[in-house]
Chain A
Amino acid sequence: MADEVEAAFRGDRRALARVLSDIENGTLSIKNILDGQPSIEKNQWSSMAITGAPGVGKSVLVDAIMTYWATEGIRVALLAVDPSSPRSGGALLGDRVRMTSVDNPDINDRVYVRSIATRSSSGSVPLIVEDMATFLLACGWERVLIETVGSGQAELRCAAVADRIVVVEGPARGDGIQAEKAGLLELADIVLVNKADLEGADRHAGELRESYALDGDDAPEVMLTSGLRGDGVPEASVALLHLNSSGRATRARMRERLLGQHERRLILNPSYNAVLDALCEGTLDIHEALTQLQGDEHE
């Protein structure tokens, strides 16, 4: 195991992939791996969550941004999350289908893409992604992007795992009232209105800017992009690289960490599946189930 970690530090990608699996599976802890390692110099930010509704074009846009950065010489890694089946536990991880940067021999030594399933965690990102990102950074990858599951208005878990939050929107995403609603948009450090080549993108960007204008000085910038055509991608790539935190997500970040870790504890409890079965059979009620899962932990 230690050999594999050493090899990953030296830049062996197969070893990197295997260590990431071990971290994901819980057989290696990031604390043990980094014990005694020199701490790495931090960029302005290290990890960035890319989130937004399904189908707004997150994968294509992320691919275009990674291509831009890698061409500039930056080593960028992507952790792309797709949902696990709540019934079988399996997953179809399809974000790679849209990735051209990993196939481009001119830059793909500076691009790493790893598909991740949510497994048993709720929310758009499993918390273990944070540890995987930390390991990538320790291996010399300079920036880690985390593409969340397509998610809606109230899914804030991504705040727990990343230094910056990018919300991707699309054209014609409802009327002006949608832009006024509370939720994810309030935590964004920047908003990219993608598919700008389609009708309605300009208007939606306008509505978002109008809504943010009521927030005062710390409102995030709203930019138009077309991941497909490339319009606005260089500008967005540069803006993202130097993105400051709006500071809006600090408390939400801590709350999501707390809730996420709490959930993780319940899931990692050895009797979790047995308790779920008992709930399905009706032999336990919810309160008894919770007592059992939380109680076991202290034994």
Chain B
Amino acid sequence: MDQPLRIVVAKPGLDGHDRGAKVVARALRDAGHEVIYTGLRRTSQQIVDTVRDEDARFLGLSSLSGAHAHLFPQVCEKLREAGLDDVIVFGGGIIPDDDRPALYEVGIRAVFGPGTPTTEILEFIETASAMENAGVGQSSEWHWNPSA
């Protein structure tokens, strides 16, 4: 790996549980990436501003509050508005299977549930970073098939 990937890990909305986000951030760090953690209770706009100013290649969204169906698409929309089409977005938390197709639809490339091995998230990062058009505003229809 030449340069470490810069990855923002964010907690959108009113959700005070960040154990999962921290575990993911730690796994990404230990794999040699530079992880920018936003802290809790961020608005969509704050997250997009952070991705922009930190020049992040990936954005990981964590939600355990049930608001993912509203907040995740909102973040994706604002990323595109800001011209950040090439940022690759993934999500995780308590996200029912039925809710996932709609998230893939708005450009989220992976949704990871509880019990996902961190190695799988790293595999996703590696696969997606090698793709040309997996950004949130780009043409690919691809998404990761998670084990959990």
CB proximity to A under 8 Å, residues B3-41: 3-4, 6, 25-26, 28-39
Within 8 Å CB of A173, what residues of B?
none
Within 8 Å CB of B29, what residues of A?
85, 88, 90-92
Closest-CB distance, A104 to chain B (whole angstroms): 10
B34 near A91: Cβ-Cβ < 8 Å: yes
A88 near B30: Cβ-Cβ < 8 Å: yes
A88 near B49: Cβ-Cβ < 8 Å: no
Interface string of A100-114 (1 = CB under 8 A from B): 001100001000111
Within 8 Å CB of B49, what residues of A?
102-103, 108
Within 8 Å CB of A94, what residues of B?
37, 39
Within 8 Å CB of B39, what residues of A?
94, 96-98
The stretch of A15-23, A41-49, A151-159, A177-185 that contacts the partner chain: A15-23
A18 near B55: Cβ-Cβ < 8 Å: yes
How many Å lie between the Cα of A108 and that of B84 in the bound state?
19
How many Å lie between the Cα of A85 and that of B46 in the bound state?
27
Give chain B's interface secondary structure class.
Answer: mixed
B126 CB within 8 Å of chain A? no
How many Å lie between the Cα of A91 and that of B84 in the bound state?
23
Within 8 Å CB of A117, what residues of B?
4, 34
A90 near B4: Cβ-Cβ < 8 Å: yes
A115 CB within 8 Å of chain B? yes
B32 near A92: Cβ-Cβ < 8 Å: no
Question: Given A85-B30, A108-B49 in contact, is the A90-B82 Cβ separation under 8 Å?
Answer: no
A14 CB within 8 Å of chain B? yes
Within 8 Å CB of B35, what residues of A?
90-93
A25 CB within 8 Å of chain B? yes
A90 near B28: Cβ-Cβ < 8 Å: yes
How many Å lie between the Cα of A246 and that of B50 in the bound state?
36
